[in-house]
Amino acid sequence: MPSPEATFAALTDGNYNWWGNALVTGTEIFAGYFLALVVGVVLALVFTWSKPLEQLFLPLLVSLNMIPKVALGPLIIVWFKYGIFPNSMMAFSICVFPILLTTARGLREIEPDLLDLVRALKGSRWQLFMKIQLPGSLPYIFSGMKVAAILAVAGAIVGEFLGSDKGLGYLMLQVQVTLDTPAMFMAVILITLIGVVLYGMVMLLERLLVAKDARLD
């Protein structure tokens, strides 16, 4: 175990390019996360609007989610080579499903009478979604977003472990060879800080958009 002084002293070593590697890892995490957020919410909405599509595609998505993400890593590398994009896809693949499931549940929890009222007033599907379904399902969406924020960090780092030429996960593999434990601990701290920033952003957005009495604690 390195001392705290030795760990933070490693941060001053320019050979590790801490800023550049942290930027790469942060980009992978945030890109994969926000792509998962968009895709998860859109798919949940589609499944809510169309029962046949849900019955057709949801079992397939569940089956795909059962595949260990480590097993997908080599395939993603073969398809997309090394770089930020394949690692972002790894983060996306591991955190899209919680957002999809919680959003779909939230959309279904809306009072049927309220939906019928909007339909009776000739409201469009888009108006129904924006005015009723989206505000009502926000606590569920944020519940999935918080889980996905944690998983996105793990997904990006797994991608860097499997195949990458930059990033904090890649750096950890390099310093492991020389048993440079202070640098390894510093990389873990920076990865954790990136995850905390993402989770904090989600929490802040939840406080701004969701009424206090409607949050799912």
- As a whole-number percent, the residues of the chain with pLDDT over 90 amount to 24
Give the residue extent of every domain in the chain: 4-208
pLDDT of the residue at 117 = 67
Got the DSSP string for the chain?
---HHHHHHGGG-GGG-HHHHHHHHHHHHHHHHHHHHHHHHHHHHHHHH-HHHHHHHHHHHHHHHHS-HHHHHHHHHHHH-SSHHHHHHHHHHHHHHHHHHHHHHHHHTS-HHHHHHHHHTT--HHHHIIIIIHHHHHHHHHHHHHHHHHHHHHHHHHHHHHS-SSSHHHHHHHHHHTT-HHHHHHHHHHHHHHHHHHHHHHHHHHHHHS-GGG---
pLDDT of the residue at 74 = 77
Asked if residues 127 and 3 have their Cβ atoms less than 8 Å apart, the reply is: no
pTM, rounded to two decimals: 0.83
pLDDT of the residue at 123 = 65
Tokens of 81: 């080579």
pLDDT of the residue at 213 = 43
The domain covering 4-208 belongs, at the CATH homologous superfamily level, to: MetI-like (1.10.3720.10)
Average pLDDT, stretch 34-45?
92
Q: For residue range 68-92, list pLDDT tens digits in order.
A: 777 777 777 777 777 788 888 888 9
Higher-scoring residue by pLDDT: 159, 125: 159
Rounded Cα distance between 69 and 149, Å, is 16
Compute how many other C-beta atoms are within 10 angstroms of the C-beta atom of residue 3: 10
